[in-house]
Amino acid sequence: MSETHTLSVPLSAAAAGTVVELTEAEQNEVAAVAGLLAAGGSVPGGIDGPGWLAAARDASVRLPHRVLAALRAFRHDAGPDGVLLLRNLPVVGGGPLPATPAVRGSVERVPTVAASVVTTAMLHLGEVIAFRNEKSGALVQNVVPVPGSESSQSNAGSVLLELHIENAFHDNRPDFVGLLCVREDVTGDAKLCTSSIRRALPLLSDRARAVLSEPRFLTEPPPSFGALGSVTPAHAVLNGDPEDPNVLVDFSATHPLDAEARRAMAELREVFMETMSALSLRVGDLAVVDNRLAVHGRTSFTPAYDGADRWLHRVYAHLDHRRSRVDRAGGGAVLG
């Protein structure tokens, strides 16, 4: 566990990474694509049924060119910040947005406009996946505050959510995490925080770099997996090219195995804080985080539980479906 449990957002913090703001015409094009998929709302099984993801894959090629180009470029190289922000996406069709759900494990089963938007976008970053033990294996999950879960280190909580790699404990963790804002936090306090190892690395001491590159850490599954995940074998926090490594850490679930490893992890958290960006997501913002290069978290906020709280849809993608085939019973999208 981290000792401090604060994320003080630097005053200079702003949106990180590449930002693409859709024009009204582009927004209408996306709405038309999503509208087709949402109209098929009666497909058996909805989003998680046998046919919808294939329909979404087909429809996804019709997204506006600038959106496709941004996603493709980000997939190739997520840049120094490891974050892509698409703004001004459509999130509702004809009717009003329903009340923000306030129950644990809430997911989207019916293909709404917003669910279709986030899925078609994420399909350009790889294969859309979910985990059987997390939010009942749903492909489109709700990120909402849940009464009674305030202090949970999960996306149902409202205390500060520590910086983390998504599902760090899992061998086939997602390569990209997409978070689409369908209702923004009225208080403005809830901010998505991201820090990239590309920004942080030059600020780390040589000793910390060396220690973080050794298998001196263990990572537990997050609370969203219930009791079902298992702790990793000892692993390094920095992997790959020492000059441009991947990072594997969750500051509430990764445990150093010795005192020096503890100090190195604390130093890493410090430099992540120094280089952190924080963003109050607006309605229609899709933030995509490269889960190899950037950690993410969220500042604390105070939900009202009145149906108007902050509401995101989360979708995962990974690049190599064959690599995870052993975990995907029947060849579907859900890892067991």
Whether 166 contacts 287, CB under 8 Å: no
Q: Rule CB under 6 A: is residue 184 a binding residue for ligand AKG?
A: no
Question: Are 82 and 294 within 8 A, CB to CB?
Answer: yes
Residue 307, amino acid: G
Structure-block tokens of residue 292: 């190899």
Give the closest residue to 172 by CA, choosing from 127, 139, 118: 127
Nearest distance, CB of residue 233 and ligand AKG, angstroms: 24
Give the interface segment with Fe ion, choosing from 70-78, 100-108, 109-117, 158-166 (CB under 5 A).
158-166
Minimum distance, C-beta of residue 124 to Fe ion, in the bound complex (Å): 21
Binding to ligand AKG by residue 170, rule CB under 6 A?
A: no
Comparing CB distances to Fe ion, the nearer of 166 and 175 is 166
Integer Cα distance of 330 and 336 in angstroms: 10
Which residues, 126 to 155, sit near ligand AKG by CB under 6 A? 143, 155
Reported as type and span, the H/E element at residue 180 is strand 176-183
Residue 178 C-beta: closest distance to Fe ion, Å: 11
Integer distance in angstroms from the first to the last C-alpha of the chain?
27
- Residue list 164-183, contact with Fe ion (CB under 5 A): 166
Does residue 86 contact residue 22 with C-beta atoms inside 8 Å?
yes
Show contacts with ligand AKG in window 77-106 (CB under 6 A): none
**Rule CB under 6 A: is residue 314 a binding residue for ligand AKG?**
yes
Minimum gap (Å) between residue 143 Cβ and ligand AKG: 4
Closer of 33 and 179 to ligand AKG (Cβ): 179
Q: How far is the CB of 1 from Fe ion (least distance, A)?
A: 17
Nearest 5°: CA angle at 131, between 130 and 133? Answer: 145
Give dist(CA 65, CA 61) in Å, integer.
Answer: 9
Give whichever of 192 and 273 is closer to ligand AKG, judged by the CB atom.
192
Q: Does 298 bind ligand AKG (CB under 6 A)?
A: yes
**Residue 192 contacts which entry, Fe ion, ligand AKG, none (Cβ below 5-8 A, type-dependent):** ligand AKG
d(CA 319, CA 175): 7
Nearest-approach distance from CB 118 to ligand AKG, in angstroms? 12
Provide CB contacts within 8 A for 3, sequence distance 6+: 266
Question: Where on the chain is the footprint of ligand AKG (CB under 6 A)?
Answer: 143, 155, 161, 166, 177, 179, 192, 296, 298, 312, 314
